Amino acid sequence: MSIGNSPEDERPFEDVSEEDRPSVSVGRALQQARIAAGLTVDDVSSATRVRIGIVHAIERDDFAPCGGDVYARGHIRTLAKFVKLDPAPLLAQYEAQNGGGRPAPTPAAPLFEAERIRPERRGPNWTAAMVAAIVVVIGFVGFTMVNGDDGEANVAGDTEPTASPTPSPSSKTAKPVVPAPEPSDSAIAAAPQDKVTVKVVAADGPSWISAKDHNGKVLFAELLKEGEDKTFQDSSKIDLVLGDAGALDLFVNGKKIEDDWQPGAVERLTYTKGDPEAG
């Protein structure tokens, strides 16, 4: 049996003149719009993925179950859009009734740039070291073979035996110098191609994050503070729930996800191996 309310069981305020109409709260405005659209709480919860209990609480102007101002604003925006209301006046009314909006976030650009220009702290890059070693060995072998071929040609072409020249200290074989690779965005965000790697950076403010692997095991379900980052890896799939997607930067399999998420928007995403593809 559905625990939502049917539209027939709920009645909006009786029509009164604009001068006598009382001020409608945020929750009451959302409830009236839902009833006018012929929707139940179950309908709204299923379509927006906002839990039934939270929808009921918001319609009673009880925003404590939302878990904070960031999530409350996100839920108000989501519910308002679904019932065809302009969320801006409702958000302004909410902020006026709850002590104003959140303070302007500290600019995170310098912090984020610093993160991008240094290698991630995952230990030595053994792959790059191995490639450099192979290049050195190949160069040394090639150099030795060329010198050996030149010596044999000299012996075959001479008609008279000549004394072998004494090698000077400066003629020692020198190993070719391999320049160290400069760090780049792709090298920093390198990820194994046989796995899916997701990095979440709280660039513009804190956000609650949930991450699960392909078996549904919870990898992380906490508040990521501003300036912090978290990396998740799985053999095939990562499921994400972002409480405030607009405050986050997302890197999937070494590529930054370009998005237009608004502050307070709740996003549910799935990423797999290969090119980033949001589920």
- Stretch among 117-126, 233-242, 261-270 having the lowest mean pLDDT: 117-126
Q: At what angle do helices 52-59 and 69-82 cross, to 10 degrees?
A: 90
For residue 279, pLDDT over 60 is answered with no
Phi (first) and psi of residue 234, to 5 degrees: -150, 165
The rounded distance, in Å, linking the Cα atoms of 278 and 268 is 9
Better pLDDT: 174 or 3: 174
Distances from the Cα of 198 to the Cαs of 80, 211, 233, in angstroms?
Answer: 31, 10, 6
Better pLDDT: 69 or 245: 69
159-202 pLDDT tens trace: 444 554 555 545 455 556 555 444 444 434 456 788 988 898 98
For residue 213, pLDDT over 70 is answered with yes
Parse the chain into domains and list their residue ranges.
22-97, 189-272
Q: What predicted TM-score, i.e. pTM, was given to this entire model?
A: 0.34
**Hey, which of 8-22, 163-177, 208-222, 260-274 has the most confident mean pLDDT?**
208-222
Which H/E stretch holds residue 267? strand 267-272
Which H/E stretch holds residue 269? strand 267-272
SS3 category, 260: coil
- Stretch among 53-57, 172-176, 202-206, 216-220 having the lowest mean pLDDT: 172-176
The rounded distance, in Å, linking the Cα atoms of 111 and 130 is 31
Could you confirm whether domain 22-97 is CATH 1.10.260.40? yes
For residue 261, pLDDT over 50 is answered with yes
SS3 category, 232: strand
Better pLDDT: 32 or 19: 32
Beta strands in 87-244 (DSSP E): 196-201, 207-212, 218-224, 229-234, 237-242
For residue 30, pLDDT over 90 is answered with yes
Instruction: Strand 237-242: give its sheet, edge to edge.
Output: 218-224, 207-212, 237-242, 267-272
Looking at residue 14, its pLDDT comes to 43
Q: What is the mean pLDDT of the chain?
A: 74
DSSP string, 51-66: -HHHHHHHHTT--GGG
Contact 37, 29 (CB under 8 A): no
